[in-house]
Amino acid sequence: MGAGVAITGIGIISAIGGNVSENYRSLISGKIGIDKITQIETVHKDEIMVGEIKDDNPTLEKRLKFLENQNSRTVLIGCIAAQEAVEQAGILDINDVRTGFISGTTVGGMDKSEQYFYDYFDRPEVRQHITGLHAGDSTKKIADHIGLKEGFVTTISTACSSAANAIMLGARMIKSRQLDRVIVGGTDSLSKFTINGFKTLMILSDTYNTPFDDNRKGLNLGEAAAYLVLESDAIVNKENKTVLGYLKGYGNANDAYHQTASSEHGDGAVLAMQKALEVAGMDPSEIDYVNAHGTATPNNDLSEGRALIRLFNGKVPEFSSTKAFTGHTLAAAGGVEAVYSILGLQNDVIFPNLNYKTQMKEFDISPVTKVKNKPLNTVLSNSFGFGGNCSTLIFSKAK
Amino acid sequence: MTRPVYINGIGSVSAQKTFDNSVFLEDVTYRSDTIINVISPDYKSYIPPAAARRMAKGIKMSTVSAKTAIQEADLEENKIDAIIVGTGLGCIGDSEKFVRDIIDNNEQYLTPTRFIQSSHNTVAGQLALGMGCKGHNFTYVHSAISFESALLDAKLQLENKEADNILVGGVDELVDHHIDTHRLIEHIKQEPVATMAVLKSGTKGAIFSEGAHFFVLSGEKSHSCHAELVGVSTFNNLSKNQVSEKARSFLEENNLTSDSIDLIILGYNGDVEFDGYYDGLANGLFSNTCQIYYKHLVGEFDTASGFAFWLGNKIIRHHNIPPVLRLNSVEVSEPKLILCYNQYRGENHSFTLLRKC
């Protein structure tokens, strides 16, 4: 097995920071991003907590030098994160090699679509948002922002594993020499659509989410965008690039159990993790830390915990869910947690699973609850979504 | 060494009667409209009525189309290793209703079914659930290249022997709010146009439609094989004068020249602003090649190019080009190499190449 696919840039905006270093500082100082909702007017505002990005749209538009109200918030945060990743990778001309952009999103421009649903007919000045309902439209606009011209651009929407799957496709395209460089990840803003959707599923917590806690009450929705730059070994060698880490393994499987819930014993999750280990050519014992999906819903954490016990044959490595910091950022989650996995590898640190108090009854594994310094060589990150979609990524340290 | 990729089964639900694989556009439906719906198969003979009642139209169309393809490929459902779907908007009927309910009922009295079905990967998830398929399950949602993204993913996996049989499809449904809003911005034609007058409409916008096209792609050629998928390539933005150059380099990558192409399937939709993208190929590089079009029969939607792919497979199988499709009078008796080119509003261009095998 080779070293994997090189990661040369990362970028992120989430409830705990507007860039990579702010996110890192929040993660090691235990600063969480969950609070009452401020930017969406919803009747549920007193019953829910969310991981909202603090900047409002005009602030984001100013930061990007964009005209007012031309773009969905999904586009705005996506542009910020993608731009940071590209800058960090030291890319001067994005079209100088075969560059692709693959983004995951579930809501796309739904924030604007729901806002102007009835207004389009009387207000021509908001009709620019009509085509924004296409999930691919957000991707297209971010691609334009980072200057991509004719290259390969596509969008993946597999619910909460979207960004993980975008990263996976990017790695496969680099490995099969279809692309030399690809920017991969995902973006999702908060919307009434998802707030009300998850509300009907009765899996929203009315307080801070508590992953892997016996008394967990559900998830907090969040919003974020996060991207990685993947580059071929040829470019890395030729341009003597700094490598931040490697994507070693990836796997996607379907639980084929229920449209929204995970199977009791996490069959899909086990399959996805097994595939990823196989691609990486690794034994489960080589995994130093698991960044769990850990949404804090009763169903996910039980199913994922059982899957971990099965995969690791009882010897589960240290694990934590970072969703207590950010909330569940849906399509972006796999990108956010890929960035955190790389930060963990770079700094030899495990980020804590906050808000954990009570051991789950069904098994005896428990998450890391304090910042822990430990040499990390390999991190496994899970993302699971509706439609039984299960994805696993394995990252390793830059040598 | 990579291995070839074969299309062993095909299925279509479109605005023409295409759900029955034993016929090939023998009975064309002519219309004069700005939107057209699919000709529905008898869903009851494919899906238990109790299940069908709760299903979004996109799921129903896809189920029929997928079953048709799998049946033709003569494959047990448990032999499908992966499911990959392209869709511009997913089951948008449910998304639209859910938004309407949120607004009209001030976020109260909502039920989860509409929300669940509005997840873009509902079709791929439901197909996996129905077939018990635990393999790779992806959904691409990138406007006019949603279907081609799915094809590309499948091709990559089959070539690299990561899978042996993959169900690949494209689906989109046509719903009210989407129609009303796209009329406002003239992406839909303002005036009805008759089927055979689409190319000469001289007006802005297209005739919107819907459909589901599914295919079984395999690493091994079966007795039901239609064609080999030689190549698929997509481009984000291209100017009109770049299209020919990209077509040429796409063919070169496959060790071919424009002369070797027997038939080109073009995505003309009668939009006076954007049909020029096809003219460059029709009047230049492929002026002496047999040319056909299809959106006058099945309309425009994000995965309309799935119909072109179906058409290419059908033509190779039947050695027959229905006259209603023809753009020029260049004759070809038995097309062996077929190139499809599609774009939408000057963006999301794709080339797909099929070869008789």
Q: Provide the shortest C-alpha distance from residue B284 to chain A (in Å).
A: 21
User: Searching chain A, which residue's CA lies closest to the CA of residue B157?
Assistant: A172
Per-residue pLDDT reduced to its tens digit, B300-337: 999 999 999 999 999 999 999 999 999 999 999 899 99
Distance CA B188, CA A15 (A): 40
For position A269, what pLDDT does the model report?
Answer: 97
Question: Predicted confidence band at B88 (pLDDT cuts at 50, 70, 90)?
Answer: very high
Check whether B2 has a pLDDT greater than 90: no
φ/ψ of residue A199, rounded to 5: -60, -45
A254: nearest CB among B135, B140, B146: B135
Chain A residues touching residue B118 (CB < 8 angstroms) = 197
Q: Is CATH 3.40.47.10 the classification given to domain B6-218?
A: yes
pLDDT above 90 as % of chain B: 98
Per-residue pLDDT reduced to its tens digit, B180-224: 999 999 999 999 999 999 999 999 999 999 999 999 999 999 999
Distance CA B259, CA A103 (A): 37
Distance CA A4, CA A343 (A): 17
**Pair B13, B211: CB distance under 8 Å:** yes
Chain B residues touching residue A204 (CB < 8 angstroms) = none
For position A260, what pLDDT does the model report?
Answer: 86
Q: ipTM of this model?
A: 0.97
Answer positive or negative: Cα dihedral of A334, A338, A340, A344: positive
Check whether B70 has a pLDDT greater than 50: yes
Token pair belonging to B315: 């033509």
Domains and CATH numbers, chain A: 5-238 (3.40.47.10), 252-397 (3.40.47.10)
Fold (topology level) of B228-355? Peroxisomal Thiolase; Chain A, domain 1 (3.40.47)
Per-residue pLDDT reduced to its tens digit, B251-301: 999 999 999 999 999 999 999 999 999 999 999 999 999 999 999 999 999
Per the prediction, chain B carries an average pLDDT of: 97
Mutate to test the interface with B, among A48, A158, A175 (most CBs of B within 10 A): A158
CB distance A388–B112 less than 8 Å? no
Task: State pTM to two decimals.
Answer: 0.98
Q: If you search the block for the tokens 């596509």, which residue do you land on?
A: A154
Q: In the A/B pair of chains, how many CB contacts fall below 8 A?
A: 194
Instruction: List active site positions of A.
Output: 160, 293, 328
Per-residue pLDDT reduced to its tens digit, B124-169: 999 999 999 999 999 999 999 999 999 999 999 999 999 999 999 9
Mutate to test the interface with A, among B55, B138, B157 (most CBs of A within 10 A): B138
- 10 Å CB burial of residue B230 (0-12, 13-18, 19+) is buried
For position A399, what pLDDT does the model report?
Answer: 81
B182: nearest CB among A117, A130, A259: A130
For position A1, what pLDDT does the model report?
Answer: 43
- 10 Å CB burial of residue A5 (0-12, 13-18, 19+) is buried
Distance CA B162, CA A145 (A): 34
Token pair belonging to A26: 């929040």
The mean per-residue pLDDT over the stretch B30-58 comes to 95
- 10 Å CB burial of residue A96 (0-12, 13-18, 19+) is exposed
Which is nearest to A10 in space by CA: A227, A335, A168?
A227
Check whether B54 has a pLDDT greater than 90: no
Task: List chain B domain ranges.
Answer: 6-218, 228-355
Q: For chain A (length 399 residues), average pLDDT per consecutive 10?
A: 85 98 98 97 97 98 97 98 98 97 97 97 97 95 97 97 98 96 98 98 97 98 98 96 98 92 93 98 98 97 97 97 98 98 98 98 98 98 95 95
For position A259, what pLDDT does the model report?
Answer: 85
Mutate to test the interface with A, among B81, B85, B97, B102 (most CBs of A within 10 A): B102
User: Searching chain B, which residue's CA lies closest to the CA of residue A158?
Assistant: B121
